[in-house]
Each structure stands twice: as structure tokens, then as C-alpha cells.
Structure 1
């Protein structure tokens, strides 16, 4: 093997020193390079709403199955399938002729009963007069009075039968029991229906709808533990608000309110069911529609939040943050909490006023000197906080 020349050995040594400087930032500073710049934020306690984003399905507040109350032949369908109807609107018309005949017969029975009562009263009046002159016996008068009572009862029975016949005649018009949107017609003209038999159509009340969602029981238990420990404050009763996101990702304009949480847990999934009530004036939300529901459940008064990109993990998977302490980098193990968008709540391992590195990890390592620069979220508007500016100025040496 030919000997390596002196220029080649010098070039190899220069590459070795350059690589060592990249791997050890402290060596780079010792070689005269300036400390690398890193983006930092100052941790400040903030008031944060504890919320959950859960998948949900839309269901109507009321559902009515329209059934006939009498039997007969369907003559006409009045409503348009999928239209909005009001309570009392006519949906179907049944054959009226048999029930009109029944009404006429009942009216005749009433007239016959009225005639019988009139005859009984006349007989009673006549016997009363005769009894006063001792011409008729008391037994005959008692029988006449009893006949009047029987005639009154027969008339009441006939009137009741007439009322029933008129009600059945009114039932030949099948009306909507509630206001809402009709489904498809399940019965056509000419069909024979029976009383309380076939479902002719359905009506769903959609002016206000329910959003049913499920939450993992582990998340609910963690929330309750935090409430018991006083770490978070529960929202006032009736103040739990929800926001809906439609399937295309757009925000639904009308907020809703959380109604209740079921006390039972589903065995198959280990989740509890939450229900929210949401107004639906335009009819945008339809039964069975998939939505994402953002539920505000509680408030954490003094939460420590950092940008999610600041979180690092070591070889064992432990969450940690890189902090700037006295101008050098220090690794800090932390316990992460809930994430809200691009922010992350830190439960343990962080204190107010800590300077957390958010950007520039490629050029640093623990123990390396750095030059902190206030970092701002590119997606947010506004300048860095005054607290960060003062902290960075305190670490920057005077010229």
C-alpha cells in the first residue's frame, strides 16, 4: 500500500475536526464558531378549556310512525315524500263511504232514542196528573218514571255511538302527529290498510337534532380525577357547549349544548355515550350524518402549554423538552397532557418562566451553548411576548 501524502493527511484531519464539531456543538464553539441560534418560548400559565373532539352521529329529537286508526282503502296520498309537514296536516285519505253510512245510521238511532224519550215523558206527565186525582195507581207512575230514565240512557248511548261514528269518519283523513320531515311513502293508493297496522310513512322532527357521541372511559376517569384534585374547574351546569364539524371539515354555524352522560359503559367498546342538542333551522343536519363534535367539558385555570413541535423523546420513549438554562441546552423529562391543535399541555416537569426550545434542534445538544431567539407560530399573528423579549435580552451579552 503506497504511503499517504502529507496534503492528504491534512485534508482527512480537517474533515475529522469538522465532523466532530457537528456532532459536538461545544467543540464548535471552542473552535471559534458562534453559538447556534434556537427559537424559544417562555412558559406562562394560561386558562385553557378542557375539550374533547369526538365522532358523532345525528339523530332526530322525535320520530313518529304514521299508522291508520281505522281500516279501509287508501284513495289518495296528499303529501310529497321528503317534504316538511306541520302537526295536523293531512297525509292520506281513506274511503269515506262506509263511515258516512255509519254516521247516518247513528244519527237515526239518536232520533229514535229522542222519540222514545219524548213518549216516556208524556206518559209520565199523564200518570202524574191521574195519580193526583187517585185515578192511576202508584205502581203505574213508578213504571213511567223508570221508563223515562231508560229512555234517557238509550239516548245517551245513541249519542255516544254517533260520536264514535263521527270520529271514525274523521280518521279517514290520516294526519301528521308531529311537525317534521316525512320519509318515503310506504303505502300506495288502492291498498287496504287495517287499524293500527301498516306503517304508512315516518316523520322526523329535525328543527332540533341530537348528536350522539362516545368518549373513552379512560378519558372520563382522568377528567374526574383532575376535577377532584382541583387541577381543573368544571363548567357551570348547562354551560357545556359543543361545536360541530361536518364531514367536509367545515364548522357548523350553530353551537349546541351537552345534555347528559350515560352512567353505563358499553362492554364491547369500553366507552360512555354523550348526547348534545343542536339547533337545525336550515335542515343541514340529517339523521345518520357523521360529524365531529368538539365538547368543552372543564377549564384548567393555570395550565402550562408549549408548542407540540417542542416535544422530543429519548431512546426509551420518555417525553422531554430542551430548555435554555444559563445560555446552554438542558434536557428535561416531562409528563405530557392533552394536545389542543398545535399546542400541548405539560402536566409535570415544567415550571412557569422556563425557556423552552421550539426550533433549531439540528444544531444543538445537551450542554451546548446557544443563542436564544423568540419564536412565533407562523400560523399565528402578532409579535413575541414582552416576557420572552426580556428573557432573551438578559441572556444576550452586551456589544
Structure 2
């Protein structure tokens, strides 16, 4: 079906022109800002000279080889420097607990009282036996004393005199036996009062008042000495081998000489679960000579002062061994290292101010900076800030000295807790691979 030309309204008709203006107005207003932005962009791209953008400003640091302190970090767990089980030495009925659970006690403090009645009776009986034995000794001595002048006059036979002497010796031996039994009875009576064998913090009581204590079930409580406190940790075999090689080659210097207990002169700090650093410094007091077959690593132990008891046995902590250093090593700020598909890279700024990606090898972390073992040389300029503006290889930049920001006064965040470094662009990664 077609419409005759005469039936269509003319484009010059006033009504048609009015509709056209109302229909086009919104598009004209929408296109106006875009045109202004395009004009501004073209005007900004046209630089002050030559019609090009000026080189972007980036922060760089000039690296220099120097000695860097190194902290070796491991996972550890605290333990009491002395831990003991408090057990009853005699069987009986537990009369009373004499301490508060969780309290700090000194060595010799009474902890439990076992019913002493039966042991008091045994002591009395043993002392009576001693008295009887003593009486027999006295009688034997008197008998022998009467026979001494008679044997001199040969009024009695030698056998009779020898029998009296043997009776005295037997009586004296019986006296010693009775005295030993009496001493044992007194010891058992004394054991009815259970005392703390060491100073420390008590645990929970495993038996309540009125319970029967037997030889096979004698555990009453535990005591842990927490000042100083021990921190047990392990050093993997690979870490120890790498450290040994670095020490032999002079890449790593460790403090002190190996002592009789196998430890070195490392200082030890502890990082708690909330990331805070324990304020007191300890020392390494043990390092095993053999590999633990269960863990496949070398066991080590540190001793930390703990006068206020803020460290409790069983806590998981990070052990920081300090005192080691890397002589003539190069470090770069954490922000300068970028993760790329080909590994870790940094951007170097060449003498003609152009960007050049460079693969690097890292080994260790010190004071907020990575230790670089390969890829960067002394005197190189490394890009630290400005990756958003400058990340293309060969791009010309305007380098300015990098100033580390430490407004809060806190040390740099460790790599595990820090934000992930920006990923390298595909072009930079491919250039670094080449």
C-alpha cells in the first residue's frame, strides 16, 4: 500500500518545522558537552611546544651497595621454661586444696593436704620399734661388759664371749633398721602435705577435696614457670643450607660464634598474633645438631624475659632473629617491585630518562625494602612511584628523587600484610622477558 505524495505533509509546513525543532533539541544539548570536552582534550594534548604532552614526572631512587641488617623470620610457639607435674608421693584421701588455681606460687608452697592420720600411726609404731631396738642394744652392751673381765681371767670360754659380741652387733643392726623405718614413716607423713617443687603458675586441680589418691592416679596439678619463657621454632633444611652457603661466600654475616649449646649470637624479638612487637628482646639458647625426623627441619629455641607474664605458654608467634647483615648488598623499596607473568621486575630509568623493565631476584626483607641479589647494580635509578603515568618500556619520563612517607612514624608494613604491588602491563612483561 502506498501513500500518494499529495497526502504527505510538506517539509516546509510550519507545523513540521516546529516538530523537528522539538525533536532535535535534546540531542543538541547532549552533544554540546562532548564537543567542549573534545575541544579541551585537544587543547590540553597540544603542549606548550611541538604540540606533544610533557614527560610524566616519576619518583626514582638511586640504589647504592651497602651493608643491610637482615631479620630472619620463623613461626614459633611459646612454652614454659620449666614445666612440671605435681603428683602425690603417698596414697590417701585428699583433705583440702591449699592454693588458688592459676595463682603464682613459690617453690615449697603447700598445695594439697592428704589425710595424715594413718601415717601418724605408722610413725608412732616405727618410733616404738626404735625404742625396743635401742633397749636390746643396751642390754647386749651390758652383757658384754660383764664378760670382758671374765674372759681376761679365762673364767668363761671364748665361744661364750664371742656369742655376746655377736648379740651386740645384731642388736645394733636391728636398731639401725628400726631407725630407717622410722625415718621412712616420717617422710611419708611429710609427703601428706604436697608442696610446689618449683616456682611458677599453677594449673587446674585434677582432684577435688575428698578424692582418693592412689599410686597409679597421683596427678594433682601442674606448674609452669613463665619467666623467662621459651619460644620453640624450626628452621627448614633448605633455609639452613642457603644460609650456610651465603655465610661461606660472604653474602651473609651472622653475629657471634657458635656456643657450647649450638646457638649463635642472634638477638630474638617476638611478633604477636595482632602484629604488635613484644617489647623485650631475648636470645637464642639452643639449636639442634640433627634434623627432626618428624618435621624434616632443625629445632631451635629462644629465651625471652617475661616478668609481667604477658606471654603465655602455647601462643603462636613470629620469631625474628636479628643481628645478621648482608655486606655490599642492594635494596629497593617495596613499591618498586612489580609482579609480572615472568616474575618480579623493576623499572629502571636510563641515563636518557627512558623506562627499561628489568627482571630481579629477591632474597630477604629489611626495614621495608627488598634485598635484590640480581638484576640491579649500584648507581641504577629505580622507579618507585608513578606507574599509572609511566609504564611503557622506552617511555621518556621526568625523574625526581623519591621521598619515603612515614607520617605515622610506624615501620613499613611487612610484605605478607602489605597491599599487593601493581601488576606489570603486558607490554612491560614482554619487554622484560626479551
- TM-score between the two structures when normalised by the length of structure 1: 0.83
CA deviation string 1:281-320 (max 9, x = no partner): 1111111112222222621112201111112355533523
Structure 2 residue aligned with 1:249 = 275
Change (3 A) 1:45 1:162: same
1:1-399 aligned within 5 A: 31-195=51-215, 197-237=217-257, 238-265=264-291, 271-296=297-322, 298-314=324-340, 316-317=342-343, 319-340=345-366, 342-364=368-390, 365-379=392-406
Cα distance in 2 between the residues matched to 1:76 and 1:123: 52
Cα distance in 2 between the residues matched to 1:314 and 1:156: 87
Cα distance in 2 between the residues matched to 1:30 and 1:348: 40
Give 1:249 shift. Answer: 2.2
Change (3 A) 1:213 1:33: same
Cα distance in 1 between the residues matched to 2:48 and 2:371: 34
Change (3 A) 1:118 1:269: closer
Say if 1:52 and 1:297, in contact at 8 Å, map to a contact too.
no
Cα distance in 2 between the residues matched to 1:213 and 1:161: 49
Give 1:38 shift. Answer: 1.4
Say if 1:321 and 1:334, in contact at 8 Å, map to a contact too.
no
Say if 1:68 and 1:196, in contact at 8 Å, map to a contact too.
no
Number of equivalences: 364
Q: For structure 2, which runs of at least 5 residues remain unmatched after alignment?
A: 1-34, 258-263, 410-434
Q: For structure 1, which runs of at least 5 residues remain unmatched after alignment?
A: 1-10, 383-399
Give 1:204 shift. Answer: 0.9
Say if 1:120 and 1:148, in contact at 8 Å, map to a contact too.
yes
Say if 1:69 and 1:196, in contact at 8 Å, map to a contact too.
no
SS of residue paired to 2:335? helix
Larger radius of gyration: 2
Change (3 A) 1:30 1:46: farther
Cα distance in 2 between the residues matched to 1:317 and 1:336: 11
Change (3 A) 1:147 1:268: closer
RCO higher in structure (CA 8 A, sep ≥6)? 1
Say if 2:348 and 2:380, in contact at 8 Å, map to a contact too.
no
What do you get for the CA RMSD once the two structures are aligned? 2.8
Give 1:248 shift. Answer: 2.3
Q: Higher mean Cα deviation, 230-239 or 312-321? A: 312-321
SS of residue paired to 1:294? strand
Give 1:32 shift. Answer: 4.3
- TM-score between the two structures when normalised by the length of structure 2: 0.77
Change (3 A) 1:172 1:28: farther
